[in-house]
Every structure is written in structure tokens, then in C-alpha cells.
Amino acid sequence: MTAPESMSTAATATPATSEPITDRATLIAAGGAAKQQPAPDKKRSSRLADDRRFKIFCGSANKALCEEVCQFLGVPMGQTKLISFSDGEIHFQLLENVRGADVFLVQPTCAPVERHILELLIMIDALKRASAGRITVVIPYYGYARQDRKDRPRVAITSKLVADLLQTAGANRALLVDLHAAQIQGFFNIPVDHLFASPVLVGYFRDLNLPNLTVVSPDAGGVERARFFATKLGVPLAIVDKRRTDINVTEVMNVIGDVKGRTCIILDDIVDTAGTLTKTVDALLANGATDVYACASHAVLSGPAVERIKNSNLKELVVTNTIPLSEEAAQVDKIKVLSVAGLLGRAIESIHMETSVSTLFS
């Protein structure tokens, strides 16, 4: 199999088109459309700009986020050729020297999950075979994170499998954002830095200065995350007791805590089909809440999610750009997107300079 003559680069790739580059290949799409977002933290005079050992590349899953990170750091995005043959096979080539370099590879494993995971593995393999000094995978959204244990007989622990695949491909380090379960870090035998988007979200709601706030965890598993959020805002915490009746189906049971006359902020790590979210909104309003906002790190928004959000009594859903919004979601005024480019940029710089990342947790 020979690669087509025409090339695309990470910095200039365009959305997929019906017109082939050759008879066998087309460009891989850059990912979903993104709603206009606030600019990341102001570009700094980066120590990395003249560091030839530092390289940053991205796959097709979220080019816009990688471009923001590069802008924040004041460095160019690495040049690559990433194409898909007509039979679906992926072809990847580095277009610059990475021998001995400290490489950061940005790729959330969002939908289509299998393609983006395989793409990431192929890119890691190419970097390893090109003698990169260290390969850090920057995965803003870690797909399969919810399959982290055997909750039923004869099921796979796919989250562990993905970690194994990344390491087998040649990753030396991982930088992750808001894992569904923090214990997933233990699936890796390489160093893992686990960032939280909470500081970005807290800052947004602090600036809104909403009255009579209460932070709400939509389930018992998210209490620790919600408690941190509530503590930072200096407001009380409530919990919604829910029972999951089937996959992607939940039934809200009752609200633990006083929400009457309060403005509630539901905090979760993922909004998927939005079933839990909309039922939680209804439960809070039924218990006397005046307004309900929601925020989440990862806007998966699959299936009926967008329609549910549009038709809900939710005041606003605040998410981050770990996953690019679909065109449909980008049209919804209730959905607000915040950028984590500054958070990722500071972490990447700290890892490269061998300084502490823990200051980003405050």
C-alpha cells in the first residue's frame, strides 16, 4: 500500500471531503464543530519557544484544543500527515525530526472512540520508531473510563485494556483530565498526572455571583468532587440519591439536603445522554429550588442528549472543551463552553521542565 502524494499537516488539516486526495485516500475530519469559546489564558513568554527538544502533536479528535494549547505555550504545532485510505485504514507520518525529543501527543478518545484510540496508538508507534526521547499522551477525555470494574458477570475491564494498549504502543507518561474514577491511574505502570477541570468551572461560577448557591452531586459517587467544588465556592452541598435501572437509564429517588429557595449547581464529570441530568433538574425544582445550573468536564452528549437539554428546565449547562461539540450542540444557547487549554498548557510545561504539577490543583 502506498501513501497518496498529497499531504495534510496537523496545523492545516481540513474537514473530510467527498473529493479524494487520490483514488484511495481522503483526509480525516478534524472532529466536531466547536461553539465559540472564551480565549484560553493569555499567551505567555514561553520558556519552550526556543526549546528544540520540546514537541507537541495532535490527532484528529480535537485539533482546536491542541491549537489553543500551542497558542498558550507560544510554540508551533508539530507537522504531520494523517490520512484515511478508502478502506478505512489510517496512515500517519511525522514530517519533522523528533529524535531525542520530549513529545506531547494531544488526543481525547471521544467518539468515534475506537478510531481515535487506534489513531492514538498508531501515532505513538510512529513516535517510538522515530526515536522520540519521551512520549507523553495528553488525553483530555479518556474513553472507556466507565468500564473500570467487573460490575456484572463475564464483562471486560476495558479501561484497563486501553491503558495496557497505550503502554504497549510505547507511551512513557500520561496526562489525563477528570477521570470517571481516579483509581484508573492504577491501571497504568507509567507515571500519570491527573488534572481536574474544577478550578476552571469554579472560576466561572464565582464570577457569576449567583445568590443562595447550593452545589449538588447527582449521585453518591460524585460527592467528593462536589464537596471540593462547594468548599471553593463557600456554599452548602446536597446529594441526589438515584438508582440506575438499566444502561443509560436512571431513576432519581430523592434529594438529600435542603434546596428550597436555592440556586443549585449540579456537578458531574460526564454528561452523556443527559437522562440523569434532566431528571436531577426536575427533582431539584420539585423540592423547591429556584434555578438549576449544571456543569461537567466532559460533554459527550450522545443520543437524545441535546434534545433533552433544549427541552429541560435547566438554566445553563457549562462544560469544557475536552471534547469538541457537535454542530447540533453548538447551536444550543443553554450550553456554555470553557477552555482547559491554559490548564493543560501549564501542566505540559511543568512536566517538560520537571517541576511540580500539584499547584494546578488549587
With the C-alpha atoms ordered 186, 188, 189, 191, is the resulting torsion angle positive or negative?
Answer: negative
273 is in an annotated binding site: yes
Residue whose C-alpha cell reads 469538541 in the numeric block: 324
245 is in an annotated binding site: no
87 is in an annotated binding site: yes
275 is in an annotated binding site: yes
100 is in an annotated binding site: no
Paired strand residues for 252? 242
Q: What are phi and psi of 118, to 5 degrees?
A: -65, -40
Paired strand residues for 242? 252
42 is catalytic: no
30 is in an annotated binding site: no
* Residue closest to 216 by CA, chosen among 280, 266, 279, 277: 266
219 is in an annotated binding site: yes
274 is in an annotated binding site: yes
Coil vs helix vs strand at 185: helix
| Angstrom distances, CA of residue 254 to CA of 82, 279, 286 | 49, 11, 10
180 is in an annotated binding site: yes
221 in Cβ contact with 149 (< 8 Å)? no
- Listed in sequence order, the residues at least 6 apart from 65 whose beta carbon sits closer than 8 Å to its beta carbon are 58, 106, 108, 140, 321, 322, 324, 339, 340, 341, 344
149 is in an annotated binding site: no
Paired strand residues for 337? 319
88 is in an annotated binding site: yes
Catalytic residue chosen out of the listed positions 35, 81, 242, 279: 242
Known binding positions for Mg(2+): 180, 219
Known binding positions for D-ribose 5-phosphate: 244, 268, 272-276
**Residues taking part in catalysis:** 242
Known binding positions: 87-89, 146-147, 180, 219, 244, 268, 272-276
Known binding positions for ATP: 87-89, 146-147
